[in-house]
């Protein structure tokens, strides 16, 4: 969609970003346990949080973690979080956001982008597979660890 654009997360858009409403049943997949347990052990300066706008409307949010010094490979260059508003899903917003994160990571010299997701009905697995991620392992919580070459 030509009208999509990214903005850094800021005071001007954080309320709308936090208020994104997902489809019924999707909340359970939005924050894999691996990320919620590691949230306070990663370098905050490594976060790459961006909102996706369609015109003036906030339709999505993505956060990457880009930290070459992170010892845990699965968190070094990863897609930490992605949410697309229910009414805007299925129109390429998620793909646009992940491609932007991949471009950013590539420009910083990373060669692999990882993501962690849970399998299940209403979950994001098909999305990640369509975007070129492949399962490469499993976390201690039984989630899928996926990766794509940049």
- Residue ranges in contact with ligand COA by CB under 6 A: 22, 26, 29-30, 32, 82-84, 89-95, 117, 124, 126-127, 130
Residue nearest to ligand COA (CB): 94
Residue 98 CB, nearest approach to ligand COA (Å): 8
Residue 108 CB, nearest approach to ligand COA (Å): 22
- SS3 of the chain: the string is CCCEEEEECCCCCHHHHHCCCCCCCCHHHHCCHHHHHHHHHCCHHHEEEEEEEECCEEEEEEEEEECCCCCCHHHHEEEEEEEECHHHCCCCHHHHHHHHHHHHHHHCCCCEEEEEECCCCCCCHHHHHHCCCEEEEECCCCCEEEEEEC
Residue 58 CB, nearest approach to ligand COA (Å): 13
**Choice between 69 and 124, CB closer to ligand COA:** 124
**Choice between 69 and 143, CB closer to ligand COA:** 143
Residue partners of 150: CB distance under 8 A and separation at least 6:
102, 105, 106, 110, 111, 112, 113
Residue 124 CB, nearest approach to ligand COA (Å): 4
**Choice between 57 and 109, CB closer to ligand COA:** 57
Residues facing 54 on adjacent strands: 4, 57
**Choice between 68 and 92, CB closer to ligand COA:** 92
Residue 79 CB, nearest approach to ligand COA (Å): 7
**Choice between 109 and 134, CB closer to ligand COA:** 134
């Amino acid at each position: 969609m030509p009208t999509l654009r990214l903005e850094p997360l800021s005071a001007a858009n954080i309320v709308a970003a936090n208020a994104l409403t997902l489809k019924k049943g999707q909340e359970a997949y939005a924050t894999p346990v691996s990320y919620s347990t590691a949230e306070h052990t990663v370098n905050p300066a490594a976060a790459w949080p961006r909102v996706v706008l369609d015109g003036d409307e906030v339709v999505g949010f993505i956060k990457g973690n880009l930290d070459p010094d992170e010892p845990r490979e699965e968190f070094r260059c990863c897609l930490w979080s992605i949410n697309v508003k229910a009414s805007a899903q299925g129109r390429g917003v998620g793909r646009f956001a992940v491609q932007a994160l991949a471009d950013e990571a590539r420009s910083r010299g990373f060669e692999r982008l990882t993501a962690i997701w849970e399998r299940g009905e209403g979950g994001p697995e098909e999305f990640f597979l369509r975007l070129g991620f492949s399962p490469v392992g499993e976390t201690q919580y039984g989630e899928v660890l996926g990766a794509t070459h940049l």
